[in-house]
Amino acid sequence: MSEVKSLSHLRAGVIGTGFIGPVHIEALKRVGVQVTAVCGSTAGATATAEKWGIPEVHGDYDYLAMCASPNVDVVHITSPNKFHVEQSLAALSAGKHVVCEKPLGMTTAETTPLVVAAAASDRVFAVNYMCRFFPGVLQMRELVQSGKLGKIIHVQGHFFQDWLLKETDFNWRLLADEGGKLRAVGDIGTHWIDAVSFILGARAESVFATLETFHKTRLRPSGPVQTFTEVDPSEMTRYEVDTEDFASLLLRFNNGVHANASVSQVAAGIKCSLYIGIYGTEGSVRWDLQQPNEIILGRRDEPNQILQRGSAGFLNDVAHFTDYPAGHPEGFPDSHKMHCRAVYEHIASGETTPVLFATADDGHHEMELCEAILNSASQSKWVTVGT
């Protein structure tokens, strides 16, 4: 384990007890942070507290009570997307640091005032684009920003999943009212764009997008459902789908780099592949979430290299965000752990460590991108981001 300043004096409260809430709890415990409070439905919050040994329970979705708790330094927001902004504002108002799940909100209209509030506050505000904290992503960023790949020419990649392939697959994210007008792009495509922006140290300034809804209608269960559970099709209702199944995104970054990303939640057999290839004049790097512990470094006139996390070719400042020796694979949960480490060390240090995590402004930028993507797709033309 690398030596890090103790985070054991910081105390977190988590709003939300669905899939991602416990992911935060586990990550927090792994970096030594105390998880002192949980908020959700009364049943959900009570069960979560019992499972994890969390002393303070705020049932009935009473997030204001949690924000007011003297036993909480940092509020984690893992509730559905449409509650992110109001809960973020409440937590900031209460003087708490905030770690908000992505997306930051539903629209830029909503997130604009939050950016203002976060800027005005002296608290830390982080959006959980945790893909930045895969050591492979951090290392690709180093290789790009140090100039080791020369001038970057183009970027290509994808984010493919298959969990919404069938018309009987249901999740609240399928509904624009619940998850936002963009679904595949909003849910996973923004991870791709955020990671690429982070690596390049640049932002997309214009986009061309094609959005396709393959299943014009789908079937949904009558009652409420969780992600990743099975439902009997005979008890389902057909409804019109107002979010896209897949997309092609062309992006022009403000450093001149062209990027091409395919995004799909209907790619059979591919459970969760986030793939990024960065091509420069002196070399390329390729990385896939499916094999997160290595990067392929491509060279024209020398052999390609396999950079292994924890060994030669991974730089020192990346080492702070990996704990296990080379050859001992880390994975998806470790990226959440390292996101927590970055945010909490920033807090513990009095905000003196580098801001590697996504800020409110970064979260807002992703909202602007989503709106530009929607505009481009509906108008079939290149659209400038933020207009």
Q: Distance (Å, rounded) from C-alpha 16 to C-alpha 41?
A: 8
Tell whether residue 246 is a contact of a copy of itself (CB under 8 A): yes
Instruction: Spell out a b/e string for 113-145, using b for 16 or more CB atoms within 10 Å of the CB, else e.
Output: ebbebbeebebbbbbbbbbbbbbbbbbbbbbbe
Cβ pair 368, 386 in contact under 8 A: yes
- Closest distance between a copy of itself and the C-beta of residue 380, in Å? 6
Q: Please work out, in degrees rounded to the nearest 5, the angle formed at the alpha carbon of residue 148 by the alpha carbons of 145 and 151.
A: 75
**Considering only residues 60, 177, 242, 282, which one is a binding residue for a copy of itself as defined by CB under 8 A?**
282
Q: Which of residues 208-227 bind a copy of itself (CB under 8 A)?
A: 208, 210, 212, 214
Residue 67: which region, alpha, beta or left (left: phi > 0; alpha: psi -120 to 50)?
alpha
Distance in angstroms (rounded) separating the CA atoms of residues 366 and 204: 10
Site membership for a copy of itself, residue 19 (CB under 8 A): yes
Nearer to a copy of itself, 48 or 81 (CB): 48
- CB-based contacts of 2: which residues, under 8 Å, 6+ apart? 319, 320, 322, 323
CB nearer to a copy of itself: give 9 or 116: 9
Region of 66-74, 343-351, 365-373, 377-385 interacting with a copy of itself (CB under 8 A)? 377-385
Among 329, 349, 351, 378, binds a copy of itself (CB under 8 A): 329
Determine if 293 is a binding residue for a copy of itself (CB under 8 A): yes
Tokens of 340: 């927590």
Could you give the angle at which helices 108-120 and 84-93 cross, rounded to 10 degrees?
A: 20
* Interaction of residue 69 with a copy of itself, rule CB under 8 A: no
Q: Does 349 bind a copy of itself (CB under 8 A)?
A: no
Considering only residues 143 through 162, tell me which ones interact with a copy of itself, judged by CB under 8 A: 149, 153-154, 156, 158, 161-162
Q: Is 233 in the site for a copy of itself (CB under 8 A)?
A: no
Query: Which of 86-94, 108-116, 260-268, 347-355 is the region at the interface with a copy of itself (rule: CB under 8 A)?
Result: 260-268
Residue among 89, 225, 250, 315 that touches a copy of itself (CB under 8 A): 250
Segment interacting with a copy of itself (CB under 8 A) among 56-64, 114-122, 261-269, 338-346: 261-269
Site for a copy of itself in 95-114 (CB under 8 A): none
The least distance separating a copy of itself from the CB of residue 105, rounded to whole angstroms, comes to 25
Length of the chain: 387
Nearer to a copy of itself by C-beta: 43 or 306? Answer: 306
Q: Is residue 334 within the footprint of a copy of itself (CB under 8 A)?
A: yes
Size of site (CB under 8 A) for a copy of itself: 92
Q: What is the spatial distance between Cα 140 and Cα 329, in angstroms, rounded to a whole number?
A: 18
Asked whether 331 and 324 are in contact (CB, 8 A), the reply is no
Query: Which residues lie closer than 8 Å to 97 by C-beta, 6 or more apart?
Result: 73, 74, 75, 91, 123, 124, 125, 343, 347
Q: Render 97-155 in DSSP notation, one character per residue.
A: EEEEPSSS-S-HHHHHHHHHHHHHSSS-EEE--GGGGSHHHHHHHHHHHTTTT-SEEEE
Q: Of the ranges 50-58, 82-90, 94-102, 196-204, which one interacts with a copy of itself (CB under 8 A)? A: 50-58
The stretch among 4-12, 171-179, 218-226, 356-364 that binds a copy of itself (CB under 8 A) is 4-12
Beta bridge partners of 39: 15, 58
Locate 103 and state its tokens: 């997306």
Beta-strand pair 34-39/125-127: unpaired
Stretch that binds a copy of itself, among 115-123, 140-148, 177-185, 256-264 (CB under 8 A): 256-264
Minimum CB–partner distance for residue 107 and a copy of itself (Å): 27
Which residue of 124, 310, 371, 374 would you call a contact of a copy of itself, by CB under 8 A? Answer: 310
Q: Is 289 in the site for a copy of itself (CB under 8 A)?
A: yes
332 lies in the binding site for a copy of itself (CB under 8 A): yes
Among residues 29 and 82, whose Cβ is nearest to a copy of itself? Answer: 29
Residue 135: cis peptide before it, omega within 30 degrees of 0: no
